[in-house]
């Protein structure tokens, strides 16, 4: 079993996203541990990039702050090595193809395996070009996670059939960010996925409240939240991990209530 599948083995999963190095790597480490201790089933770690095209202003700001703080890929690898001393839940990197290219794809992906990362999400990598990285990911047992967007339409089955780890379903058109309402017909997208694969799927982009998380997880296998957590880091800085823990617990509690119905 893929280690990522273990995140979904006990029911609906809650998946927080944290940009590494915002405001510094010590705070990132504390935030990850706080999230894990309060019910996160899988954690996405963002490697900052100067041009994060899939991100809205909140996570763009986090990328800028992290880069200004001197965050590098090598420092993030060291962070994960330290986290893996006591954090056992699955973790995946979310970054951009140029980060991997510039580091050296073989070196980057083999290091992911060495330090205990379970997967890699590259939102700017078209499905049709995934073979740039997929063979290396397979060789090093790192799941290359595919995204399905509302515009995927006839490509959904094709993407789903070749999915690894879990499928990231993008809830809305546009970039990441908190949304008051999600209007996409996600039920039909999930239904199309279910016809093609038994890989778990989780919904992200725009989720910020326990009510939204519960709704999205009821449609799929889990909910992904980024901007709402980054807002806590922006507001509280080094003191944010405590608030992140409380937030993760509230979101996980909402999702767990689905399994109890």
Delimit the domains of the chain by residue range: 12-260
> What would the pLDDT profile of 127-177 be if each residue is shown by its tens digit?
999 999 999 999 999 999 999 988 777 889 999 999 999 999 997 654 443
Question: Residue 204 in contact with residue 226, Cβ under 8 Å?
Answer: yes
Question: Residue 43 in contact with residue 15, Cβ under 8 Å?
Answer: yes
The single residue listed with the structure tokens 């063979």 is: 135
Say what the pLDDT of residue 107 is. 98
DSSP count for the chain of H helices, then E strands: 11, 9
Say what the pLDDT of residue 187 is. 86
CATH number of 12-260: 3.30.1490.20, 2.40.10.10, 1.10.10.1100, 3.20.20.70? 3.20.20.70
Find the range with the poorest average confidence among 73-77, 233-237, 253-257: 253-257
Distance CA 253, CA 236 (A): 23
In sign, the C-alpha dihedral spanning 244, 167, 97, 135 is: positive
> What would the pLDDT profile of 165-208 be if each residue is shown by its tens digit?
999 999 765 444 343 444 467 888 899 999 999 999 999 988 99
Say what the pLDDT of residue 206 is. 81
In sign, the C-alpha dihedral spanning 258, 4, 40, 24 is: negative
Instruction: Tell me, yes or no, if the pTM score tops 0.85.
Output: yes
Determine what percent of the chain falls in helix, strand and coil, rounding each to the nearest 5: 50, 15, 35
> What would the pLDDT profile of 43-96 be if each residue is shown by its tens digit?
999 999 988 766 778 999 999 999 999 999 999 999 999 999 999 999 999 999
- The CA distances from residue 219 to 174, 185, 191, in Å, are 21, 10, 9
Say what the pLDDT of residue 181 is. 46
> What would the pLDDT profile of 94-130 be if each residue is shown by its tens digit?
999 999 999 999 999 999 999 999 999 999 999 999 9
Q: Does a cis peptide bond (omega within 30 degrees of 0) precede residue 23?
A: yes
Position 10 pLDDT exceeds 70: yes
Say what the pLDDT of residue 172 is. 63
């Amino acid at each position: 079993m893929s280690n990522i599948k273990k995140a979904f083995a006990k029911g609906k999963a809650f998946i927080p996203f944290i940009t590494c190095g915002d405001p510094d790597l010590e705070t990132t480490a504390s935030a990850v541990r706080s999230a894990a201790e309060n019910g996160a089933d899988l954690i996405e770690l963002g490697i900052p990039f100067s041009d994060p095209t899939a991100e809205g202003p909140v996570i763009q700001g986090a990328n800028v702050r992290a880069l200004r703080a001197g965050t590098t890929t090598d420092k993030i690898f060291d962070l994960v090595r330290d986290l893996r001393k006591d954090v056992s839940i699955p973790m995946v990197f979310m970054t951009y193809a140029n980060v991997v290219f510039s580091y050296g794809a073989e070196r980057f992906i083999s290091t992911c395996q060495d330090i205990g990362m379970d997967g890699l999400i590259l939102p700017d990598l078209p499905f049709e070009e995934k073979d740039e990285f997929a063979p290396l990911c397979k060789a090093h047992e790192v799941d290359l996670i595919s995204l399905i967007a509302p515009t995927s339409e006839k490509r959904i089955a094709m993407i789903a059939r070749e999915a690894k780890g879990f499928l990231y379903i993008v809830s809305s058109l546009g970039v990441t960010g908190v949304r008051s309402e999600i209007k996409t017909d996600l039920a039909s997208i999930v239904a199309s996925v279910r016809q093609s694969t038994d890989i778990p799927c989780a919904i992200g982009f725009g989720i910020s409240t326990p009510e939204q998380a519960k709704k999205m997880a009821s449609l799929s296998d889990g909910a992904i939240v980024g901007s709402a957590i980054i807002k806590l880091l922006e507001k509280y800085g080094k003191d944010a991990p405590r608030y992140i823990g409380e937030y993760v617990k509230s979101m996980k509690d909402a999702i767990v209530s689905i399994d109890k119905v």
